[in-house]
Structure 1
C-alpha cells in the first residue's frame, strides 16, 4: 500500500545526548520543546498525528487548514509547538493535548495558538523520499511549504555546532540537534546520524504510583523498562492541586507494587496501572542512575510506557 494511504508512520528517533561539536558534515537545528508529529497533507486536508499515531487536529483546530500553505501532496515530520513569552512552552502543548472540551479547546487555540515547524519531508507528490540525503530533503521542504503563522520550516546552520549550542544555552532553550548532511530517513529507528545536544536534560518515565507527603504535595514514583521489567527510578514532587495529579489519581489502582527491587521509603505508596508517561527535568544523574534535583515537567500522551527505556 502507498505510504501516504497507509499512515501509521513511526518517526526516526534521535540518538543519545552528547557534547556540542563542530563538523562540516553536519547541520544544526534548534531542539523545539513540543510534541513530535507526522503530518499527512494533500490538496484538501491536513492530518496531524503524534508518535502514537493519535490524530491531533481536533485538539489543535487552528492547524486544520495548513494544507492551504502546501504546494504538493506530502508527508512532513516536525514539531507541534506553542510559543509563550517568546519560547516554546511544553506545559501549554501538554495541557492542550489533554483537553477534551471543544469550548475550552477553541478558547485555548485563540489565546495561545499552536504552530507546526517542519524539519523533514518523507513523501513528495506520489512517492517516498526517505532514501534521499537529508540536504536534498531540506531542498524539497523549501519548495513545498509556503510559510505563515501556523506552519514554518526549521532553520539550520552548517558546521558551527558549538557556537550554536552556546546561543541556545544563553537563551535558556532546550538545546540543539546535529544531523549528518548525507543521512537517510529510517522509520522507527534510533540513529547516531541525528544526535541531541541538550542544555536542559530530561527523560521520560512511567508513572507507577504516588505517595501523599502533606503540605499540598505528593511524590510520584517513577519507573523505566529494562526489557519487559519495570525498574525503579526514584521520585519527583508534584502539587496535589494540579491537573496532572487529577489525571494520575483517576487511573485504576492496583494491589501490589510493580518492581522486583523496591528501595525502602515506599511503604505508603498508592500503586496504579502503568499507563501514564511523564517528563522529568534534572541536573544530572548519579552513578546508580538516580536523578539529581528532579522537576516534574508534565504528562505526555504521545509516548507509550513501553518506550520508556533504561539508558
Structure 2
C-alpha cells in the first residue's frame, strides 16, 4: 500500500526552536521503500514505480519482515562532497537493465532514510516523530547503501550555517511531536540555501513565461538558462513594456533582445553544463 507523502512548507530563514529537530535537506529525489515477503518495491513521491532503477537498494539491512521507509535517494560527488542531483537523475532515466546494473556498480546511490511509516503490519504514522525516529534506529542497520539521516535538536541556525559552508541544499525543520500526514504541513518546513546572481535578459518566450538570461564571464556574455519562477505581475508588466524597444529578432517561439535589462535571480546551484538550476526572479537592477 502506497502512503501519500508528507510534504514540506517553505520558510525564508533558518530559526531556532526547542519544539523542532533539524535535518540537512538532501538534494535527490523522494523515495518510498516497501519491504514485504522478502521483496522490495520503490516508489517516487508521485507513486511511480522505480524499483528496477536501483538494484543496490533491493537488500534492506533489517530483520523486519515488513516495513515502509520514507527518505531521499541521493548521490554524492566524490570530488566535491556535495549531493549531486544530476547524477541521481541520470540513474533514474536509464532504461536498459544492463546499463542500470552497470551504473549501480560504478556509481551506487544512497538511500537517506528519515522516517518509518509501517512496521510488520503496524501503521506508525500516528506516532510522534521522535517515537518513529527511535523505532527506525532500532530497525535499520545502515550500510554503504542505506543511511539514517542525522539531526540536531533546536539549533536550526547553527545547522543552516554548517550546510551553507558545505554548499548543500538547505535544512528541514520538523516538530518533534508531529504525526505523519499525507499532505503539505507546517509541521515540516524547508529552508533553502539560495545563491544569488546578476544576469542580463536577452530574450523571452512568446507562448509562455520564460526569460532568456545571460551571465558575464571573462568579459563576455553567455547563455545561463531561462527564468520561469518568481516573476510578479508588476515585474512582467514592467519588463514587457521596456522590452518592445530592445527587440533585435525572432526565431520560432523566442523573441531576442539587446541585453540591456539586468536582473538579480536566485538559484539552488549551477548545473554541470554551466546553467542556473531553477532560477527565480528577485528584482531588476536599475
TM-score (norm 1): 0.65
Residue in structure 2 matched with residue 234 of structure 1 by the alignment: 211
- Determine if the alignment matches structure 1 residue 141 to structure 2 residue 136: yes
**TM-aligned CA deviation for residue 80 of structure 1:** 0.5
Specify the SS of the correspondent of 1:139: helix
Q: Residues 59-118 of structure 1: CA distance to partner in whole angstroms, max 9, x if unpaired?
A: 11111222x435241111100011222232100001111111222222211111011111
Contact 1:25–1:181 (CA under 8 A) maintained in structure 2: yes
Which structure 2 segments of 5+ residues have no match?
197-201, 215-236, 255-262, 273-286
1:256-267 correspondence to structure 2 within 5 Å = 267=250
Determine the C-alpha separation between the residues in 2 that align with 1:161 and 1:11.
23
Query: Deviation of residue 42 (structure 1)?
Result: 2.3
| 1:59 corresponds to 2:53 | yes
Query: 2:161 corresponds to which residue?
Result: 166
Instruction: Sort the Cα spacing of 1:100 and 1:39 in 2 relative to 1 into closer, same or farther, 3 A.
Output: same
On the 8 A contact 1:81/1:115 being kept in 2, the answer is yes
Q: 1:295 to 1:201 in 2, by over 3 A?
A: closer
SS in 2 for 1:69: coil
How many residues are aligned here? 231
Aligned to 1:78: 71
SS at match of 1:11: coil
- 1:189-200 correspondence runs (5 A): 189-200=183-194
Question: Is this contact kept in 2: 1:234–1:291, CA < 8 A?
Answer: no
> 1:91-240 counterparts in 2 under 5 A?
91-187=86-182, 189-200=183-194, 232-235=209-212
Matched, 1:268 2:251: yes
Structure 1 portions without partners, runs of 5+: 203-212, 214-218, 223-229, 238-260, 272-285, 299-311
Tell me what 1:37 maps to: 31
Distance 1:64 1:176, change over 3 A: same
Structure 1 residues 236 and 150, CA gap change in structure 2 (3 angstroms) = farther
Q: Do the aligned residues in 1 keep the contact of 2:75 with 2:85 (CA within 8 Å)?
A: yes
